[in-house]
Amino acid sequence: MKYFIIILTLLFAILLPKGITAQAPTGRPIPINVRTLVEERIEINEERRENIRLKIEEKEATREAAKEELKAKLEEKAQNRVRTLFGNISTRIESAISRLYTLIERMEARLAIFAEEGENVLEIQEKIDSAKILLVSAENSLVVAKTELENTITSEDPKAGYLYVKDVVKDIKLTLVDAHSILVQVIGDMKGLRVGETENI
Amino acid sequence: MKITKNNFILILAIAVIILIGFFAYFFNSSDSLFKQEITKLKTQSTSNEVESIEQDILDTDLSDLDKELSDIEKEIEAAY
Protein backbone atom coordinates (compact mmCIF):
# COMPACT_ATOMS: atom_id res chain seq x y z
CA MET A 1 0.00 0.00 0.00
CA LYS A 2 2.82 2.37 0.88
CA TYR A 3 4.61 1.66 -2.38
CA PHE A 4 1.38 2.12 -4.25
CA ILE A 5 0.91 5.59 -2.77
CA ILE A 6 4.49 6.58 -3.54
CA ILE A 7 4.17 5.44 -7.16
CA LEU A 8 0.88 7.22 -7.48
CA THR A 9 2.41 10.43 -6.13
CA LEU A 10 5.35 10.20 -8.53
CA LEU A 11 3.06 9.55 -11.45
CA PHE A 12 0.93 12.55 -10.47
CA ALA A 13 3.99 14.81 -10.28
CA ILE A 14 5.25 13.68 -13.70
CA LEU A 15 1.95 13.84 -15.51
CA LEU A 16 0.63 17.12 -13.96
CA PRO A 17 0.13 19.77 -16.78
CA LYS A 18 2.69 22.48 -16.27
CA GLY A 19 0.47 25.26 -17.62
CA ILE A 20 -1.98 25.05 -14.81
CA THR A 21 0.42 26.30 -12.21
CA ALA A 22 -0.52 29.72 -10.96
CA GLN A 23 1.92 32.53 -10.39
CA ALA A 24 3.22 32.35 -6.91
CA PRO A 25 3.16 35.60 -4.91
CA THR A 26 6.92 35.36 -4.83
CA GLY A 27 6.97 36.56 -8.56
CA ARG A 28 7.68 33.40 -10.39
CA PRO A 29 7.09 33.91 -14.19
CA ILE A 30 3.66 33.16 -15.65
CA PRO A 31 3.55 30.13 -17.84
CA ILE A 32 3.66 31.00 -21.56
CA ASN A 33 0.17 29.86 -22.59
CA VAL A 34 -1.49 31.95 -19.81
CA ARG A 35 0.65 34.92 -20.76
CA THR A 36 -0.52 34.64 -24.38
CA LEU A 37 -4.13 34.47 -23.27
CA VAL A 38 -3.77 37.64 -21.18
CA GLU A 39 -1.95 39.47 -23.98
CA GLU A 40 -4.60 38.44 -26.44
CA ARG A 41 -7.28 39.66 -24.06
CA ILE A 42 -5.50 43.01 -23.68
CA GLU A 43 -5.17 43.30 -27.42
CA ILE A 44 -8.85 42.57 -27.98
CA ASN A 45 -9.84 45.15 -25.37
CA GLU A 46 -7.59 47.76 -26.92
CA GLU A 47 -9.04 47.03 -30.33
CA ARG A 48 -12.53 47.40 -28.92
CA ARG A 49 -11.60 50.70 -27.25
CA GLU A 50 -10.12 51.94 -30.51
CA ASN A 51 -13.26 50.99 -32.44
CA ILE A 52 -15.44 52.75 -29.90
CA ARG A 53 -13.21 55.83 -30.07
CA LEU A 54 -13.43 55.87 -33.87
CA LYS A 55 -17.21 55.49 -33.75
CA ILE A 56 -17.47 58.38 -31.29
CA GLU A 57 -15.24 60.50 -33.51
CA GLU A 58 -17.35 59.65 -36.53
CA LYS A 59 -20.56 60.58 -34.72
CA GLU A 60 -18.97 63.80 -33.52
CA ALA A 61 -17.89 64.66 -37.07
CA THR A 62 -21.39 63.93 -38.40
CA ARG A 63 -22.92 66.08 -35.65
CA GLU A 64 -20.52 68.94 -36.42
CA ALA A 65 -21.28 68.71 -40.13
CA ALA A 66 -25.02 68.82 -39.43
CA LYS A 67 -24.50 71.81 -37.13
CA GLU A 68 -22.49 73.64 -39.82
CA GLU A 69 -25.18 72.90 -42.39
CA LEU A 70 -27.89 74.23 -40.12
CA LYS A 71 -25.77 77.29 -39.32
CA ALA A 72 -25.28 77.93 -43.05
CA LYS A 73 -29.03 77.60 -43.67
CA LEU A 74 -29.79 79.98 -40.81
CA GLU A 75 -27.22 82.44 -42.12
CA GLU A 76 -28.79 82.26 -45.57
CA LYS A 77 -32.22 82.95 -44.09
CA ALA A 78 -30.82 85.87 -42.12
CA GLN A 79 -29.14 87.18 -45.29
CA ASN A 80 -32.43 87.02 -47.18
CA ARG A 81 -34.26 88.81 -44.36
CA VAL A 82 -31.63 91.55 -44.38
CA ARG A 83 -31.91 91.83 -48.17
CA THR A 84 -35.70 92.22 -47.88
CA LEU A 85 -35.42 94.88 -45.18
CA PHE A 86 -32.77 96.80 -47.09
CA GLY A 87 -34.88 96.44 -50.21
CA ASN A 88 -37.62 98.39 -48.41
CA ILE A 89 -35.19 101.16 -47.50
CA SER A 90 -33.85 101.24 -51.04
CA THR A 91 -37.32 101.38 -52.61
CA ARG A 92 -38.36 104.16 -50.25
CA ILE A 93 -35.25 106.22 -51.06
CA GLU A 94 -35.67 105.70 -54.80
CA SER A 95 -39.32 106.75 -54.56
CA ALA A 96 -38.36 109.86 -52.56
CA ILE A 97 -35.67 110.81 -55.10
CA SER A 98 -38.14 110.32 -57.94
CA ARG A 99 -40.71 112.46 -56.15
CA LEU A 100 -38.23 115.29 -55.61
CA TYR A 101 -37.13 115.15 -59.26
CA THR A 102 -40.76 115.42 -60.39
CA LEU A 103 -41.33 118.37 -58.05
CA ILE A 104 -38.26 120.05 -59.55
CA GLU A 105 -39.60 119.47 -63.07
CA ARG A 106 -42.89 121.09 -62.13
CA MET A 107 -41.08 124.01 -60.51
CA GLU A 108 -38.87 124.50 -63.55
CA ALA A 109 -41.93 124.43 -65.79
CA ARG A 110 -43.48 127.14 -63.60
CA LEU A 111 -40.21 129.05 -63.52
CA ALA A 112 -40.09 129.03 -67.32
CA ILE A 113 -43.47 130.81 -67.32
CA PHE A 114 -42.16 133.40 -64.86
CA ALA A 115 -39.08 133.89 -67.05
CA GLU A 116 -41.28 134.44 -70.11
CA GLU A 117 -43.12 137.08 -68.13
CA GLY A 118 -39.84 138.86 -67.60
CA GLU A 119 -39.10 137.81 -64.06
CA ASN A 120 -35.52 137.36 -62.89
CA VAL A 121 -35.40 133.69 -62.04
CA LEU A 122 -31.63 133.19 -62.07
CA GLU A 123 -31.17 132.89 -58.34
CA ILE A 124 -34.12 130.54 -58.03
CA GLN A 125 -32.76 128.38 -60.85
CA GLU A 126 -29.37 128.18 -59.10
CA LYS A 127 -31.07 126.91 -55.96
CA ILE A 128 -32.94 124.31 -58.00
CA ASP A 129 -29.65 123.25 -59.62
CA SER A 130 -28.05 122.77 -56.20
CA ALA A 131 -31.02 120.58 -55.18
CA LYS A 132 -30.50 118.50 -58.35
CA ILE A 133 -26.82 118.03 -57.46
CA LEU A 134 -27.87 116.73 -54.06
CA LEU A 135 -30.29 114.27 -55.68
CA VAL A 136 -27.55 112.95 -57.98
CA SER A 137 -25.28 112.53 -54.96
CA ALA A 138 -28.02 110.61 -53.14
CA GLU A 139 -28.52 108.31 -56.14
CA ASN A 140 -24.80 107.53 -56.32
CA SER A 141 -24.61 106.88 -52.60
CA LEU A 142 -27.55 104.47 -52.85
CA VAL A 143 -25.68 102.41 -55.44
CA VAL A 144 -22.70 102.26 -53.07
CA ALA A 145 -24.94 101.28 -50.14
CA LYS A 146 -26.56 98.44 -52.12
CA THR A 147 -23.21 97.03 -53.20
CA GLU A 148 -21.69 97.32 -49.76
CA LEU A 149 -24.67 95.69 -48.09
CA GLU A 150 -24.37 92.64 -50.31
CA ASN A 151 -20.64 92.44 -49.59
CA THR A 152 -21.29 92.88 -45.89
CA ILE A 153 -23.85 90.12 -45.37
CA THR A 154 -21.74 87.60 -47.25
CA SER A 155 -18.53 88.54 -45.48
CA GLU A 156 -16.79 86.99 -42.46
CA ASP A 157 -17.54 89.98 -40.27
CA PRO A 158 -20.88 91.51 -41.25
CA LYS A 159 -21.15 93.58 -38.08
CA ALA A 160 -18.18 95.77 -38.96
CA GLY A 161 -19.23 96.19 -42.61
CA TYR A 162 -22.79 97.06 -41.68
CA LEU A 163 -21.73 100.15 -39.71
CA TYR A 164 -20.44 101.66 -42.95
CA VAL A 165 -23.67 100.84 -44.82
CA LYS A 166 -25.69 102.39 -42.00
CA ASP A 167 -23.62 105.60 -42.23
CA VAL A 168 -24.12 105.79 -46.00
CA VAL A 169 -27.90 105.38 -45.67
CA LYS A 170 -28.14 108.03 -42.95
CA ASP A 171 -26.09 110.34 -45.14
CA ILE A 172 -28.47 109.73 -48.06
CA LYS A 173 -31.41 110.65 -45.84
CA LEU A 174 -29.73 113.89 -44.74
CA THR A 175 -28.93 114.73 -48.37
CA LEU A 176 -32.56 114.27 -49.39
CA VAL A 177 -33.74 116.33 -46.42
CA ASP A 178 -31.36 119.12 -47.53
CA ALA A 179 -32.68 118.91 -51.09
CA HIS A 180 -36.22 119.09 -49.77
CA SER A 181 -35.35 122.17 -47.67
CA ILE A 182 -34.01 123.89 -50.77
CA LEU A 183 -37.27 123.18 -52.61
CA VAL A 184 -39.23 124.63 -49.69
CA GLN A 185 -37.12 127.83 -50.02
CA VAL A 186 -37.56 127.85 -53.79
CA ILE A 187 -41.35 127.55 -53.65
CA GLY A 188 -41.33 130.40 -51.14
CA ASP A 189 -39.29 132.48 -53.61
CA MET A 190 -41.71 131.55 -56.40
CA LYS A 191 -44.64 132.64 -54.26
CA GLY A 192 -42.78 135.91 -53.82
CA LEU A 193 -42.61 136.23 -57.59
CA ARG A 194 -46.33 135.55 -57.71
CA VAL A 195 -46.93 138.32 -55.16
CA GLY A 196 -44.80 140.66 -57.24
CA GLU A 197 -46.82 139.71 -60.29
CA THR A 198 -50.07 140.46 -58.49
CA GLU A 199 -48.76 143.82 -57.29
CA ASN A 200 -47.73 144.81 -60.82
CA ILE A 201 -51.28 144.18 -62.00
CA MET B 1 -71.98 65.90 -20.73
CA LYS B 2 -71.80 65.17 -24.44
CA ILE B 3 -73.42 68.52 -25.35
CA THR B 4 -70.93 70.43 -23.17
CA LYS B 5 -68.02 68.69 -24.84
CA ASN B 6 -69.35 69.58 -28.32
CA ASN B 7 -69.83 73.20 -27.28
CA PHE B 8 -66.27 73.28 -26.02
CA ILE B 9 -64.94 71.99 -29.33
CA LEU B 10 -67.05 74.53 -31.21
CA ILE B 11 -65.78 77.41 -29.06
CA LEU B 12 -62.20 76.19 -29.48
CA ALA B 13 -62.61 76.02 -33.28
CA ILE B 14 -63.99 79.57 -33.37
CA ALA B 15 -61.13 80.80 -31.19
CA VAL B 16 -58.57 79.16 -33.49
CA ILE B 17 -60.16 80.73 -36.57
CA ILE B 18 -60.13 84.14 -34.90
CA LEU B 19 -56.49 83.71 -33.96
CA ILE B 20 -55.55 82.70 -37.51
CA GLY B 21 -57.41 85.70 -38.83
CA PHE B 22 -55.64 87.97 -36.36
CA PHE B 23 -52.18 86.74 -37.35
CA ALA B 24 -53.00 86.94 -41.06
CA TYR B 25 -54.17 90.53 -40.63
CA PHE B 26 -51.09 91.42 -38.57
CA PHE B 27 -48.62 90.03 -41.10
CA ASN B 28 -50.44 91.53 -44.07
CA SER B 29 -50.80 94.95 -42.49
CA SER B 30 -47.04 95.56 -42.21
CA ASP B 31 -46.66 94.76 -45.91
CA SER B 32 -49.63 96.95 -46.87
CA LEU B 33 -48.26 99.79 -44.71
CA PHE B 34 -45.05 99.73 -46.72
CA LYS B 35 -47.04 99.77 -49.97
CA GLN B 36 -49.05 102.73 -48.71
CA GLU B 37 -45.83 104.63 -47.95
CA ILE B 38 -44.49 104.01 -51.45
CA THR B 39 -47.79 104.94 -53.07
CA LYS B 40 -47.84 108.18 -51.11
CA LEU B 41 -44.29 109.02 -52.23
CA LYS B 42 -45.12 108.26 -55.84
CA THR B 43 -48.34 110.24 -55.88
CA GLN B 44 -48.38 113.96 -56.63
CA SER B 45 -50.35 116.36 -58.70
CA THR B 46 -49.42 117.15 -62.31
CA SER B 47 -50.36 120.79 -61.93
CA ASN B 48 -47.65 123.48 -62.27
CA GLU B 49 -49.55 125.96 -60.12
CA VAL B 50 -47.42 127.26 -57.27
CA GLU B 51 -49.98 126.29 -54.60
CA SER B 52 -50.23 122.76 -55.93
CA ILE B 53 -46.44 122.35 -56.03
CA GLU B 54 -46.16 123.81 -52.56
CA GLN B 55 -48.74 121.39 -51.19
CA ASP B 56 -46.89 118.43 -52.66
CA ILE B 57 -43.59 119.67 -51.25
CA LEU B 58 -45.16 119.95 -47.81
CA ASP B 59 -46.70 116.47 -48.18
CA THR B 60 -43.26 114.98 -48.81
CA ASP B 61 -42.38 112.97 -45.71
CA LEU B 62 -38.76 111.83 -45.56
CA SER B 63 -38.67 110.97 -41.86
CA ASP B 64 -39.07 107.18 -42.22
CA LEU B 65 -36.79 106.61 -45.18
CA ASP B 66 -34.36 104.49 -43.16
CA LYS B 67 -36.63 102.97 -40.53
CA GLU B 68 -35.58 99.37 -41.21
CA LEU B 69 -31.95 100.09 -40.26
CA SER B 70 -32.51 99.05 -36.65
CA ASP B 71 -34.24 95.83 -37.75
CA ILE B 72 -31.31 95.01 -40.02
CA GLU B 73 -28.91 95.61 -37.15
CA LYS B 74 -30.89 93.21 -34.95
CA GLU B 75 -30.85 90.54 -37.66
CA ILE B 76 -27.10 90.83 -38.08
CA GLU B 77 -26.50 90.75 -34.32
CA ALA B 78 -28.67 87.68 -33.92
CA ALA B 79 -27.39 85.71 -36.87
CA TYR B 80 -23.67 86.38 -36.80
pLDDT digits (tens, 9 = 90+) for A39-53: 999 999 999 999 999
| Residues of chain A neighbouring B30 (CB-CB closer than 8 A) | none
Q: Which amino acid is at B15?
A: A
| Residues of chain B neighbouring A138 (CB-CB closer than 8 A) | none
Q: A96-151: per-residue pLDDT in tens?
A: 999 999 999 999 999 999 999 999 999 999 999 999 999 999 999 999 999 999 99
| Residues of chain B neighbouring A177 (CB-CB closer than 8 A) | 62
Mean pLDDT of chain A: 87
Question: What is the pLDDT averaged over residues A5-29?
Answer: 64
Cβ atoms of residues A89 and B41 within 8 Å: no
Half-sphere exposure of A132 (CA within 13 A, CB side): 11
pLDDT at A35: 81
Of B34, B50, B80, the CB nearest to A191: B50
Of A103, A113, A170, the CB nearest to B56: A103
Cβ atoms of residues B53 and A107 within 8 Å: yes
Residues of chain B with pLDDT under 70: 1-3, 26-28, 80
pTM of the model: 0.70
Q: Residue A19: is its pLDDT beyond 70?
A: no
Min Cα separation A62/chain B (Å): 23
